Chain A
Amino acid sequence: MAFLDREHSVADSTFTRWLVPPAALAVHLCIGEIYGFSVFNVPLTKLLGTTQSVAGDWTIPQVSWLYSTALILLGLSAAVFGKWVEKNGPRKAMFTSACCWGGGFLIASLGVRFHQFWMVLLGYGVIGGIGLGLGYISPVSTLVKWFPDRPGMATGMAIMGFGGGALIGAPFGSELMKRFATPTSTGVMEAFLVMGLVYFCFMVFGAFTVRVPAPDWKPEGYVPSLVQKKLVTHAQVSADEAIKTPQFWLLWAVLCLNVTAGIGILGQASNMCQNMFGVPKAVGDGFAGFLSIFNMGGRFLWSSTSDYIGRKNVYFIYFLLGALLYSLIPFTQHLNNVTLFVAITAVIISMYGGGFATIPAYLKDMFGTMQVGAIHGRLITAWSMAAVLGPQLVTYIAEYQKARHVPAAQSYNFTMYLMVGLLLAGALCNYLVKAVHTRHHHPGTSTVPLTTIPKQP
């Protein structure tokens, strides 16, 4: 298996760096399926009864553990295996991710066949979750190294794939279940089997396409900026050292708060639209689908924008514009203006996606490229926490409002104002981010700001 090693994936001089984004996209498009997993929720509760749940069938709360476990394992594995990914290179990491993700589906398929929940949990939740974490961080540091001139655009392209994965995964799963369903089967087992094989092949394509640049490689005509920017370091910080800095934890909070706020809308988009404006369920579901396009597009657009206006500024936009837009949502209900509501929420969700995609470039600016993948992996725990706790918080508030007999149309107002508070807290954390102290720099990589060098006569 030596061909998977970093040394065997170093690009030669004829290799074009524009092959790396599709390799990264191939992996992210597959693992992004996690966001579309909800299409399996109801069918998984009817495995015995086929048309309806019967005694012995799994329940929705039970099935929802598959998604939660996978997300928790995503964060944990990204944090634990980050340094392994850096050491072994993207090809081995992507290949391992393909084995875990594809293999996880196959084990889950067996679990469905024998109606063993633990097996599905082990396959999709645990092994698949590890594949998610490895796959998510594997191309990040490579992309940053290939695109030192546009790191935001490069990582935005890959992480856009994660958003796009949901757009593919949900209809792909539905079509497969429809194709394989029989009067005595929901078609879930066969769907898992096919998805496991297809995703494995697709991710292996990514693994064999990706290359790491030679150590002395630079893009043609690229000259690193000679002007020292306050928040862009030319020094390097190791992953172990990074977590000792306040900057790491501030960025952890920035990501966590941005994700929690986005989930405030994304998690209940359809119900919100129905309850606030009285639209039918089909329209509410359409709204959720519409938002997912902005979730994906925002990842690329906002992250690319950050290359021009800076990471800190782009996060200020996410937080401050986001807070303003969230505070306007109750007024759209008051005006009964669905178009305005849709426009506002689309921008909010684009910034939610942008938050994910901009963070690797922000980390690169703060800690350098040496172990940016491993640092990113550790930061991903913020997402896991937000993804599990965020919806719980929103559901709790909704239930509380219901218990207080607040009309359904206005029951979201409090949540929206809470999101404004979270976003303002995020803006404060972002404001507090300053350059990493030189004592954290890897020996021999510290640079003296050029502004302090006396001018030559």
Chain B
Amino acid sequence: MKNSNLIKLCVAWMVVCIPLGWGVYKSVEKSMPLFKGRASPPAAASGR
């Protein structure tokens, strides 16, 4: 592969991977409480 093609390829993948990586990071950040939070017995399970 020619050098110019390789550069184009790297740039094209970076253009899509950077925002995608940011989106994944934000989702992981948002899902953190899931791993930190503790489940309590479901309040609604005993009644209405």
Contacts and interface: CB of A to CB of B under 8 A. Distances in A.
Interface of A: 14-16, 18-19, 22-23, 25-26, 29, 161, 164, 166-168, 170-172, 202, 205, 209, 275-280, 282-283, 285-287, 289-290, 292-293, 296, 333, 336, 338, 342, 405, 407-410
Contact of B31 (A170, A278, A293): A293
Given A167-B26, A202-B15, A292-B27, 13 more contacts: A16-B5, A26-B15, A164-B23, A166-B23, A278-B44, A283-B37, A285-B30, A286-B33, A289-B28, A289-B31, A293-B24, A407-B45, A407-B46
Interface string B26-48: 11101111110111111111111
Contacts of B16: 22, 25-26, 29, 161
B26 A282 contact: no
Given A22-B16, A280-B37, A405-B48, A336 B42 contact: yes
A171 B26 CA distance: 7
B20 to A, nearest CB: 5
A168 B42 contact: no
Given A19-B12, A280-B33, A290 B27 contact: yes
A14 B2 contact: yes
Nearest to B6: A16
A304 to B, nearest CB: 17
B22 A168 contact: yes
Query: What is the interface of chain B mostly: helix, strand, loop, or mixed?
Result: helix
A14 B9 CA distance: 12
A410 B45 contact: yes
Nearest to B46: A407
Contact of B24 (A18, A167, A342, A409): A167
B contact residues, range: 35 or more
B5 to A, nearest CB: 6
B9 A16 contact: yes
Contact of A289 (B9, B30, B44): B30
Contacts of A277: 39-40, 42
A16 B6 CA distance: 9
A23 to B, nearest CB: 7
Specify which of B9, B15, B39 lies most central, judged by the most chain A CB atoms within 10 Å of its CB: B39
Contacts of A285: 30, 33
A18 B39 contact: no
Contacts of A278: 39-45
Contact of A171 (B23, B39, B41): B23
B15 A286 contact: no
A333 B23 contact: no
10 contacts: A25-B20, A170-B26, A171-B22, A172-B23, A205-B15, A282-B37, A286-B33, A289-B34, A293-B31, A407-B47
Contacts of B46: 407
Given A22-B15, A26-B16, A408-B48, A168 B31 contact: no
Given A278-B41, A278-B42, A287 B34 contact: yes
B5 A14 contact: yes
A279 B44 contact: no
A368 B22 CA distance: 37
Contact of B33 (A164, A283, A296): A283
Contacts of A407: 44-48
B44 A342 contact: no
Given A293-B24, A338-B39, A407-B44, A23 B31 contact: no
